[in-house]
Structure 1
């Protein structure tokens, strides 16, 4: 528990700073290029490398490559170093080749992702894409370096490196504001302006990749090109990764159905469509990304090593400890989202061209998503049990079941609910999907390792919910009091979040500490110790 807690804390801190600087980066870029034609062109060009990276390597890193690296470290006389060098060779040359081809065919790729763009808008998008598409190679090398670091229990660099990218991009956006005379006018933008934006964006990813490569060098990894690829297990990797691609395709189908229905809802009820769903989803992901992803990243290499040793008891212990550690933060966060969602979204989005009522509606959708925070996190942790075995087939079948449940419930919400409530219904369909998915996945994963400590996890989560109710009630009381006195506006929303959210979480920590919830006591003790040493 202590090792997992320390690793999770390091990664959570890095992820928190990364998310905050990421929000600042988005704000600076929006101020620099706007959200009209130039903003559209930039965002399409920026998104394409991310999509290609996910399709080529992103999806197989945690599910396939990390477990295979761990097995090579256990199996090979050199501790897997040659195996890692072969993987890095494949990643470097393979992705560099893909990036080169993508740059050559940038116009066709832009046309594939856009609808009837012509003139200056298309020309800007193509030029930006040619500057940005080389990111694919740096994304891949950096991600593989991060995966190798994770297998060595080095978690800080992969979580902190994106901060460097964000700082570079904030500087690029600020510089564009100073030197460009075009601003957001796509007709006036020059080649130099586009080069600054495009090359600056690629420079940010290069800096992130360099930080990870340097960290890898410091732990003893030495890269040299190895063309003797016979021992790298490409056939096994391809067979295993095939199911990961199936999983990705099914997940994209589910996303497509939700997007189509949410867009249709927006046509029927402006302000209650896909944008509301997307913004609420991004905020919902924040506590999951900071806490659950950090613990998942620490868990997977350890569980993979335990599976390689045939030590299923260690797998059960690692999972249950990780689940309770995640739950100690996710449980109160979910309840507070359900109470404070509208106040949070009004404070964040209630400006400019978005009306306060539309901002509050996003908060209503976020409240529904709050119900899903625990089952979604449980589901994601459970998938890592299968990935530790190198099993990507079972998650693909589970994803197919999720897709059927999600599509069916989403369609039901679309045809039965009033237009204003459709997107909230889609969020509720998401919640039910992951409750069902987590239940089925638990049964299958438990059978795989001979139990997952279900009684311990259920008892721990129950105590956490009991401890969280007073804090959520306090937040609700603050909400009613402040809203009754000041109404719901940006100022009152800030007061509600600071007083209701802050005091609510502190009350949860105090109650849980008094109830001897060990995970909360460990977190409180670690924080108190750091404060004491700092003093």
Structure 2
């Protein structure tokens, strides 16, 4: 399967995940609105998600996939299978210990994440209970990440990309059926969402097992002390752990930024955490469909090219990925900056979600849009370092960007409130991506192919036409005034999006961009 087809498959499955995730958010927004209890749930859900990014698709995946691809390239499948068993052993024990500590320390974790919830005792206590219910979710997702790393190295992209849909379906069921049932039992309905999270985690892990069995790579962790000791001393385990140390710092930087932003938002007007969460959900559509898809497909390929000392292939892979990022991320950023209110109104403005919530979520979404190109480009540029088993450089950059982001918060939040937090994240991502690109260019690892200046000019020209069209449609129609006319509003949005796509891609074709080059390469 070609890189483009692999990326397209992952992107389509990610789209399914994001659509079901959006349905989930719509249902939660219309059922619960933006309140102290939704803030409590979002804070509680972020705690296991924060650790998931440390143990799962964050530091662990960044260290595990390059080592796994290198061992398979040089030593074969049997040595790879033995390494997987040893790493699974260490991972299982680390997760058991982490979950026990996390459940016991829930009050301290909630306070560290969002001390502002203390202003509402019910919200704080609800967040503590929800954290204890959902904390074991980290164990399921870390094991899912182990399975995904194996399957992606074997170029089996479909199952890992599709599994997030199961979490969304479980949470939809919880909000749709579980919340009313909890209410009828005299329980707080928001607790039903925690049950949906745990069910989703179990389902995601369950579907990985047959896929791993089919390629003969089902992990066999050893739970006895002798097995743990042998696993700890295995060279592959030591290499992954060595790489994880700087990766943990790098991922921790991103999570520290999230922690600080959540802490700040918890002290802003009630609903700020939820407005940022709803905006983040929309921003995840382009970042996941393009950035995550490219990162998932490119990292094993880049690692394999590095292990084989094929520098030209390595550079070509980066060039292809970056051109695709510019082609698709720039118009998406334009859409978030000029068309945020229509998107939020059509998708969220129902039930308890008010017109004021639409305005507050829209400005946060526009803030994220300012840095969308950087957020997506990082997903291509950072694997360029990880594939060379160089995790320290991206970490050093991330630490400096964290400081710059918080300095921007000091300037933006007094003026823009929660939207200032989103804008600081977006601009920080742009700085991070530019720094990573400069690093790859300076070391000669990435050598851009000819034609970049012309290509960039063509994309910018098409994006200007797109911005004019979207700005006109955003201001001409009263998007919040269509609240009682759902079909009319959805139809208008659909026509606007289709018109925007035609304008952008027709402009590219007329300017001479050959779109088929992305498929062939």
TM-score after normalising by structure 2: 0.84
1:157-172 equivalences under 5 Å are 157-172=159-174
1:233 alignment partner, SS class: helix
- Mean CA deviation greater in 390-399 or 77-86: 77-86
Contact 1:303 1:385 in 2 (8 A): yes
Residue 294 of structure 1 is matched in structure 2 by 293
Q: Cα 1:462–1:511, aligned 2, differ >3 Å: closer, same or farther?
A: same
Greater Cα offset, 512-521 or 167-176: 512-521
1:96 maps onto 2:96 in alignment: yes
For structure 1, the residue ranges without an aligned partner over 5 or more in a row are 527-535
Deviation at 1:99, TM superposition (A): 2.8
CA shift at 1:148, angstroms?
0.8
Paired residue for 2:308? 309
Paired position in structure 1 for 2:258:
255
Q: In structure 2, what is the equivalent of residue 55 of structure 1? A: 54
Q: How far does residue 17 in structure 1 lie from its aligned partner after superposition?
A: 1.0
Distance in 2 (alpha carbons) for counterparts of 1:277 and 1:172: 22
Per the alignment, do residues 501 and 520 of structure 1 end up closer, same or farther by CA in structure 2, a change over 3 Å counting?
A: farther
Offset of residue 158 of structure 1:
0.8
Which residue of 138, 148, 151 corresponds with 1:149?
151
Question: Aligned equivalents of 2:53 and 2:492: distance in 1?
Answer: 39
Measured after TM superposition, the shift of residue 423 of structure 1 is 4.8
Residue 138 (structure 1) shift? 1.7
Give the Å deviation of 1:318: 0.4
How much has 1:208 moved relative to structure 2? 0.7
Q: Which residue of 2 aligns with 1:82?
A: 82
The whole-number CA distance in structure 2 between the counterparts of 1:437 and 1:344 is 28
- Structure number, greater radius of gyration: 1
Structure 1 residues 225, 277: CA separation in 2 closer, same or farther (over 3 Å shift)? closer
CA contact (8 A) 2:324 2:518 kept: no
Cα distance change on mapping 1:457 and 1:91 into 2, 3 Å: farther
Deviation at 1:323, TM superposition (A): 1.4
Match of 1:207 in 2: 203
Aligned counterparts, 1:61-460, within 5 A: 61-77=60-76, 78=78, 80-103=80-103, 129-177=131-179, 179-182=181-184, 185-186=187-188, 198-226=194-222, 227=227, 228-229=230-231, 230-259=233-262, 266=268, 275-414=274-413, 419=415, 421-453=416-448, 455-460=450-455
Q: 1:144 deviation in Å?
A: 0.5
Provide closer, same or farther for how the CA distance between residues 468 and 118 of structure 1 changes in structure 2, counting only shifts above 3 A.
closer
Question: Would the alpha carbon gap of residues 185 and 103 (structure 1) be closer, same or farther in structure 2, given more than 3 Å must change?
Answer: closer
CA 1:274 to 1:131, structure 2 compared with 1: closer, same or farther past 3 Å? Answer: closer
Across the aligned residues of Structure 1 and Structure 2, the Cα RMSD in angstroms comes to: 3.6
Question: 1 CA distance for matches of 2:315 and 2:276?
Answer: 36
Change (3 A) 1:118 1:323: closer
- Structure 1 residue 124: Cα displacement: 6.6
Structure 1: how far apart are the matches of 2:397 and 2:247?
Answer: 12
Residue in structure 2 matching 1:500, options 496, 502, 508 = 496
Could you tell me which residue of structure 1 aligns to residue 457 of structure 2? 462
- Relative distance call for 1:81 and 1:235 in structure 2 (3 A) is closer
Give 3-state SS (helix, strand or coil) of 1:202's partner: helix
Distance 1:487 1:427, change over 3 A: closer
Contact 2:26/2:348 (<8 A) preserved: no
Aligned partners of 2:87 and 2:237 also within 8 Å: no
**Structure 2 contact 276–361 (Cα < 8 Å) conserved:** yes
Deviation at 1:42, TM superposition (A): 5.1
Distance 1:127 1:277, change over 3 A: closer
Counterpart CA distance in 1 for 2:247 and 2:109 is 24
Offset at residue 211 of structure 1 (A):
0.8
After superposition, the Cα gap between the structure-2 partners of 1:377 and 1:391, relative to the gap in structure 1 and judged at 3 Å, is: same
Comparing 209-218 with 241-250, greater Cα deviation is found at 241-250
Deviation at 1:58, TM superposition (A): 3.9
Does the C-alpha gap of structure 1 residues 299 and 458 become closer, same or farther in structure 2, counting only changes over 3 Å? farther
1:445 shift after superposition: 1.3
Do 1:63 and 1:244's aligned partners in 2 also have CA atoms closer than 8 Å? yes
CA contact (8 A) 1:468 1:508 kept: yes
Equivalent position of 1:531 in the other structure: none
Q: Once the 2 structures are TM-superposed, how far is the Cα of residue 244 of structure 1 from its aligned partner?
A: 1.7
Alpha-carbon distance, 1:27 to partner = 4.2
Structure 2 Cα separation of the partners of residues 275 and 199 of structure 1: 20
Q: Distance in 2 between matches of 1:430 and 1:199?
A: 31
CA–CA distance in structure 2, aligned partners of residues 358 and 45 of structure 1: 21
Range that drifts further, 59-68 or 18-27: 18-27
Farther off after superposition, 149-158 or 274-283: 274-283
Shift of 1:369: 3.2
Aligned length: 508
> Cα offset for 1:183?
6.6
Residue by residue over 1:37-69, the C-alpha shift from the partner in whole angstroms, topping out at 9 and shown as x without a partner, is: 765665555443323333334421332111111
Q: Could you list the per-position Cα deviations for residues 97-126 of structure 1 after superposition, in whole angstroms to 9, with x for gaps in the alignment?
A: 433454466676567667669998888766
Segments of 5+ residues of structure 2 without an aligned counterpart are none
Counterparts of 1:169 and 1:495 in 2: how far apart (Å)?
27
Moved more, 319-328 or 452-461: 452-461
Distance between the aligned counterparts of 1:257 and 1:103, measured in 2? 22
Q: Quick check: 1:513–1:520 contact (8 Å CA) kept in 2? A: no
